[in-house]
Amino acid sequence: MVRTRWRFKFLLEAVIALPLVLPPTVLGFYLLIALGPHGPLGRLMESLGGRPLAFTFTGLVIGSVIYSMPFVIQPLQNAFATVGRRPLEVAATLRASPLDRFFTIAVPLARHGFLTAVVLGFAHTVGEFGVVLMIGGNIPGETQVLSIAIYDHVEGLEYVHAHWLSGGLLLASFLMLMVVYAIDRRFRSFQT
Amino acid sequence: MILSESDFTALAITLKMASLTTLILLLLGTPLAGGWCAPGGVSSFYWKR
């Protein structure tokens, strides 16, 4: 995507970035329709002998992939953009194939972007609420995730449980970001 | 016990969901973001021009 000259690149970029501005419940609602028994994906699953994906763990993962897409794609895109054209062109003069250039030049040079993408994608998925509630339906033991469990505890006035879960998530998120910044700093000092 | 069994189950589901999502997004996102399979990349066509 970084190096493409495709005319409609802006369209693809807008689709990928859409979950950043779209309310999670809106995305969850459309996914629920699409994955339900009357939706295109639900019908496809039924025709293949399966059951509709709404209110299942698989549906939850599909929703999360779409919702967290910009948080993984954009850091990767930025990292590949910073690699620049020159190293790839030099490799091409040495007869490296496009695949070789990608895996031996672009990917290693963009490795800090992979780390950021992994951490941001993981942390964002852990914190999802609206989409997972709409698609998963908060079924304990099957589609109930931590963020919804916290909401349930608060609703039931079980503040001690909510405190423990929220504190755990706060600490985990802080640690993840700390690791990202520490590695990023080390990477930058290594580059200069 | 401060956390109930359902809390630990929710934690396990969350971690499983987040790990799978991140893995799928990396596999999809790497070629997409890198422009490896996109037209106009540093391909042989580019050099012929």
Chain A residue with Cα closest to B24: A65
pLDDT in tens, A11-39: 888 888 899 999 999 999 999 999 988 88
Through-space distance between the first and last CA atoms of chain B, rounded to whole angstroms: 69
- pLDDT for B16 equals 95
More reliable by pLDDT, A140 or A184: A140
State yes or no: pLDDT of B18 exceeds 90: yes
Q: Which of A84, A77, A89, A94 is nearest to B43 (CA)?
A: A89
Q: Which of A6, A68, A132 sits opposite B38 (nearest CB)?
A: A6
Burial A126-137 (b: 16+ CB within 10 A, else e): bbbbbbbbbbbb
* Subunit contact A76:B34, Cβ cutoff 8 A: yes
pLDDT in tens, A45-82: 888 888 888 899 999 999 999 999 999 999 998 888 88
- pLDDT for B45 equals 42
Residue A23, φ and ψ in degrees, nearest 5: -60, 135
Residues sharing a CB contact under 8 Å with residue A89, sequence separation 6 or more, in sequence order: B42
How crowded is the C-beta side of A161, counted as CA atoms within 13 Å? Answer: 22
Angle at A157 between CA B15 and CA A140, to 5 degrees: 35
* Subunit contact B3:A122, Cβ cutoff 8 A: no
* Subunit contact B34:A72, Cβ cutoff 8 A: no
Percentage above 70 pLDDT, chain B:
67
- pLDDT for B38 equals 41
State yes or no: pLDDT of B44 exceeds 60: no
* Subunit contact A117:B35, Cβ cutoff 8 A: no
- pLDDT for A80 equals 87
Q: How many CB pairs under 8 A join A and B?
A: 138
pLDDT in tens, A141-176: 889 999 999 999 999 999 999 999 999 999 998 998
Q: What is the ipTM of this complex?
A: 0.85
- pLDDT for B42 equals 45
Distance CA A78, CA A87 (A): 16
Chain A nearest CA to B24, separation (Å): 7
- A77 inside 8 A of chain B by CB: yes
- A17 inside 8 A of chain B by CB: no
Residues sharing a CB contact under 8 Å with residue A150, sequence separation 6 or more, in sequence order: A162, A165, A166, A169
- pLDDT for A45 equals 87
* Subunit contact B2:A164, Cβ cutoff 8 A: yes
- pLDDT for A118 equals 92
